[in-house]
Structure 1
Amino acid sequence: MSAEWQVQSAESWKITLPCSRAQAEALIEDVPALAAFDPPPTVMTSEPDPAAPDAWLIDVYVEGVPTPELIEAIGSLAPDRGPPEIVRIEDEDWVTRSQAFLVPIRAGRFHVFTGAHAGESPAGTIPFLIEAGRAFGTGHHETTTGCLEMLDQLATAGHRFANIADIGTGTGLLAFAARALWPEAPILAADIDPIAIDVTRANMAENAIPADAIALFTCPGVDHPEIARTGPFDLLIANILAGPLIELAPSFADRIGPGGRVMLAGLLADQEDAVVAAFAARGFRLSERLQRGDWPTLVLVQRP
């Protein structure tokens, strides 16, 4: 490692690493290899050329000259794709620069954007400002987009809900969308990660959502005494991963009343049968489904 990387600096840098689509998708949740670094780097993935669907990029934005340890950790995210490219970002806010590449998302009636695109929401849409940061759920991944579209479809079909939970809330976006569609319903949002709850609280303020409009809890799944007292729910949203969805099926079923619905995402298409089977064993049947890319969004209803 050359001596220039040892110089202490407040500069900003971008580290770019080629990767496969599978390696990029593995980063939709936390990135354990980078969790110990302070301040935490911002990680983004992209598909530069749709004609080359397995040629993705990982871009990592860091404050200060990246250390050899950080460079090695980033390289471990895609160790088979060659060394990372490291460049200094000259005289500009690297967070703003990274946000500029996140184009606004339109999903049903929802328009999700970062601060770089403020004021650009089309007329008639429900806008949400969600910055990329320390929690999952900016709307740019197919799982989140699929959930937004499914919520819109349920509302368009005339479904009404009186008690809603968003489990694994991330940025809080899905809870915000549910509140916009069913404003009279009590809504709670929970996440196992306290950082996600902090991010959700900040995003509520950013989107002029009153602090008491959504109850926030830090807990695994629905394992919180206040959640037990709040139920049963007639809509429970869970955009997490297939394994946890299967494990949580019994506790979710205990919190959903007869005729209630559970919206599941974060699973791949080849994991769908196992997830549906876990909920079918608890009295649910599949009622609605949509798929974006390899990622289905499922709605299952509890049989009366």
Structure 2
Amino acid sequence: MDPQDNPFTPATWTALTTLAGPGPAEGLGAAMEEMDPAPVGIGVFEMEDGSGLWEVGAYFTQAPSDIDLALLAAAFGAKPFAVSELPETDWVAHVRRDLHPVAAGRFFVYGSHDADKVPEGAVPLLVEAAMAFGTGHHGTTQGCLEAFDALLADGLAPGPVADVGAGTAVLAMAAARVWGGDVPIVASDIDAVAVEVAAANVAANGLGGTVECVEAAGFGHPVLGRHAPYALIFANILKGPLIDLAPDMAAHCAPGGHAILSGLLDRQADEVRTAYEAAGFAEAARRSLEGWTTLTLRR
């Protein structure tokens, strides 16, 4: 049997730790790639609790070496790794059971198992359960879709679109559904796997040729530069990267253009707004869902 035909994940081990600062966290993540057995996936994330700590985690299909993990933690000043073994799980069935369609303004996000539930007149966005990150079920993605819907209701004119940190590209696909073929739309992500997922989703939605998916940090790709300035920029990432991107965001956004930002805890929104006001944006609207804020800014 082809492994891709088997929905059950074999026994998997996770190893998680926390430490201070993005530099050490990224260094630890890079060092873990050299482990034997090597992890099949590594994540480095800023924790969203205001602690300033970063989490580094990895997945293994063989039990990792406790000695290697202890040495790596000590070398980078991290807390001891917490290692757990996960049982075999049919993750796709599990996600399908819990992942329900989401209506966000005119947009309707669904998996193929719910294709019969798309309301007449809705703008459909298909994201499979196996690609559940960024499907619209999180308050940040749903907030971005609702913010875009509100701009459209106010008469937002078509123009070039960038989706920075696109994940599954659901936001870029929303723009393609309403403007596809009329304007360039670029979905970018720093993670190569995310770019592959984005391209697969674009194809599954019949939007091939309307969204260009590229691997890039921020606006660091020739394709993103070629289509600037943008009438609309989505950035559903974290507070720190959003603040760092503010000058670049202003440089790539057309005068009168909009940026829809999320990935923000409610208490982080004002700090991000202040950074963008300094870069030349003004707040046009904000919405809060499940403790997460989405900012709509106008340049």
Q: Provide the TM-score with structure 1 as the length reference.
A: 0.71
2:109 paired residue number: 112
- Alpha-carbon distance in structure 2 between the residues aligned to 1:197 and 1:120: 28
Decide whether the 8 Å contact of 1:142 with 1:292 is kept in 2: yes
- Alpha-carbon distance in structure 2 between the residues aligned to 1:116 and 1:40: 27
* 2:248 equivalent to 1:251: yes
1:159 paired residue number: 156
Q: Percent identity?
A: 39
SS of match in other structure, 1:137: coil
Shift of 1:262: 0.9
Shift of 1:126: 1.5
- Alpha-carbon distance in structure 1 between the residues aligned to 2:281 and 2:91: 46
SS of match in other structure, 1:177: helix
1:187 paired residue number: 185
Shift of 1:202: 0.6
2:194 paired residue number: 196
- Alpha-carbon distance in structure 1 between the residues aligned to 2:224 and 2:86: 46
Instruction: Decide whether aligned partners of structure 1 residues 69 and 144 sit closer, same or farther in structure 2, where only a CA change above 3 A counts.
Output: farther
* Number of aligned residue pairs: 249
* 2:228 equivalent to 1:221: no
2:174 paired residue number: 177
Decide whether the 8 Å contact of 1:13 with 1:63 is kept in 2: no
* Structure 1: gaps of 5 or more residues: 1-9, 18-31, 42-61, 74-78
Give CA-to-partner distance per residue, 1:8-60, whole Å, 9 cap, x none: xx964689x9xxxxxxxxxxxxxx79x9676559xxxxxxxxxxxxxxxxxxx
Give the AA of the match of 2:164.
Answer: I
Q: 1:278 aligns with which of 271, 275, 278?
A: 275
Shift of 1:69: 6.8
- Alpha-carbon distance in structure 2 between the residues aligned to 1:11 and 1:178: 35
Shift of 1:159: 1.2
Shift of 1:243: 0.4
* Structure 2: gaps of 5 or more residues: 1-6, 15-28, 43-58, 70-78
Shift of 1:119: 2.2
SS of match in other structure, 1:267: strand
Q: 1:141 aligns with which of 131, 138, 142?
A: 138
Give the AA of the match of 2:185.
Answer: I
- Alpha-carbon distance in structure 2 between the residues aligned to 1:254 and 1:88: 48
Please give the root-mean-square deviation of Cα atoms over the aligned residues, in Å: 3.5
- The answer to which structure has the higher helix fraction is 2
Give CA-to-partner distance per residue, 1:131-186, whole Å, 9 cap, x none: 24467311111000000111111111111131111111100100000122223222
2:127 paired residue number: 130
Instruction: Decide whether aligned partners of structure 1 residues 67 and 233 sit closer, same or farther in structure 2, where only a CA change above 3 A counts.
Output: same
Shift of 1:188: 1.0
Decide whether the 8 Å contact of 1:197 with 1:218 is kept in 2: yes
